[in-house]
Homo-oligomer: A and B are copies of this chain.
Amino acid sequence: MTTDFAATRAQFHLPEGVIYLDGNSLGPLPVAAKARVVQAIEAEWGEMLITGWNKAGWMEMPARVGNRIARLIGAEEGHVVMGDTLSIKVYQALASALEMNPGRKVILSDTGNFPSDLYMAEGLARTLANGTVLKTVAPEEVMGALDDSVAVMMVTEVDYRTGRRHDMAALTRRAHEVGVLAVWDLAHSAGAFPVGVAAGGADFAVGCSYKYLNSGPGGPAFIYVAPRHAEAARPALSGWLGHEAPFAFDLSYRPGRGIERMRVGTPPILQLAALDAALDVWDAVDLDDLRARSLWLTDRFIAGVEGACPMLTLATPRANAERGSQVSFRHPEGYAIMQALIARGVIGDFRAPDILRFGFTPLYIGADEVDRAVTILAEIMATGAWDRPQYKTRARVT
Asked, given contacts A41-B34, A251-B136, A270-B270, whether A236 binds B15 with beta carbons under 8 Å apart, the answer is: no
| B218 engages A266 (CB within 8 Å) | yes
Q: A115-B250, A217-B267 are in contact. List 17 more A-B contacts (CB 8 A).
A: A15-B47, A29-B46, A33-B41, A37-B38, A41-B274, A45-B216, A49-B347, A50-B349, A54-B396, A54-B398, A86-B266, A115-B249, A126-B238, A130-B130, A208-B266, A210-B266, A218-B267
Judge whether A51 is part of the interface by a CB distance below 8 angstroms: yes
Whether B52 lies near A123 (C-beta < 8 A) is no
Copies of the chain in the assembly: 2
The residue from B54, B122, B218 contacting A238, defined by CB atoms under 8 A apart = B122
Kindly list chain B residues whose C-beta atoms are within 8 Å of the C-beta of A365: none
Is A20's beta carbon under 8 Å from chain B? yes
Q: Which of B217, B234, B270 contacts A216 (CB 8 A)?
A: B270
Partner of A119, one of B86, B120, B243: B243
Going nearest first, the 7 A-B pairs with the smallest beta carbon separation are: A85-B265, A116-B240, A123-B238, A218-B268, A87-B239, A217-B269, A53-B398
Q: A120 — which chain B residues lie within 8 A by C-beta?
A: 237-239
The residue that A398 contacts in the complex, of B50, B122, B274, with Cβ under 8 A, is: B50
What residue of chain B has the Cβ atom nearest to residue A160's Cβ?
B249
Which residues from B are CB-within-8-Å of A46? 13, 15, 28-29
Interface flags for A374-398 (1: CB within 8 Å of B; 0: not) read: 0000000000000000000001111
Residue among A91, A119, A243 facing the most chain B CB atoms (10 A cut-off): A119
- 19 example contacts (A-B, Cβ-Cβ < 8 A) are as follows A15-B49, A26-B45, A26-B52, A26-B53, A34-B41, A50-B398, A116-B241, A118-B253, A119-B242, A122-B252, A124-B236, A127-B128, A208-B266, A217-B266, A217-B270, A247-B396, A247-B398, A248-B352, A268-B271
A251's partner among B118, B128, B217, B396 (CB-CB below 8 A) is: B118
Nearest-Cβ distance from residue A57 to partner chain B, whole angstroms: 12
Partner of A253, one of B119, B129, B220, B352: B119
| Docked-complex contact B127 and A129, CB < 8 angstroms | no
* Per-residue B-contact encoding for A344-384, CB less than 8 Å = 1, 0 else: 00010101100000000000000000000000000000000
Counting CB contacts under 8 A, is A233 at the interface?
no
Tell whether A67 is near chain B: CB-to-CB under 8 Å. Answer: no
Within the complex, the shortest CB–CB distance from A313 to chain B, in Å, comes to 19
Whether A269 and B122, one on each chain, are in contact in the complex, defined by CB atoms closer than 8 angstroms, is no
Chain B contacts for A29, CB-based, 8 A: 41-42, 45-46
Residues in B with CB closer than 8 Å to A128 are 127-129
In Å, the complex CA distance between A40 and B88 comes to 25
Task: Give min CB distance, A40 to chain B, whole Å.
Answer: 8
Q: Which residue of B lies closest to A47 (CB)?
A: B15
Q: Does A111 sit within 8 A of B, measured CB to CB?
A: yes
> Is the C-beta of A207 less than 8 angstroms from some C-beta in chain B?
no
CB A52 to nearest CB in B, in angstroms, measures: 6
The reply to whether A123 and B268 contact each other, CB–CB distance below 8 Å, is: no
Contact between chains at B221 and A265 (CB < 8 Å): yes
**At the interface, yes or no: A341 with Cβ under 8 Å from chain B?**
no
A216 and B266 within 8 A (CB): no
Contact (Cβ within 8 A) B217 A265: no
Chain B residues closer than 8 Å to A324, beta-carbon distance: none
Q: How far is the CA of A219 from the CA of B45 in the complex (A)?
A: 12
Q: In chain B, what residue has the closest Cβ to A348?
A: B50
Residue-by-residue, is A317-340 near B (CB-CB < 8 Å gives 1, otherwise 0)?
Answer: 000000000000000000000000
Q: Report the Cα distance A210→B53, complex, angstroms.
A: 13
For residue A161, which residue of chain B has the nearest CB?
B249
Q: Shortest Cβ distance from A94 into chain B, in angstroms?
A: 11
A235 sits at the interface (CB 8 A): yes
Min CB–CB distance A152 → chain B (angstroms): 15
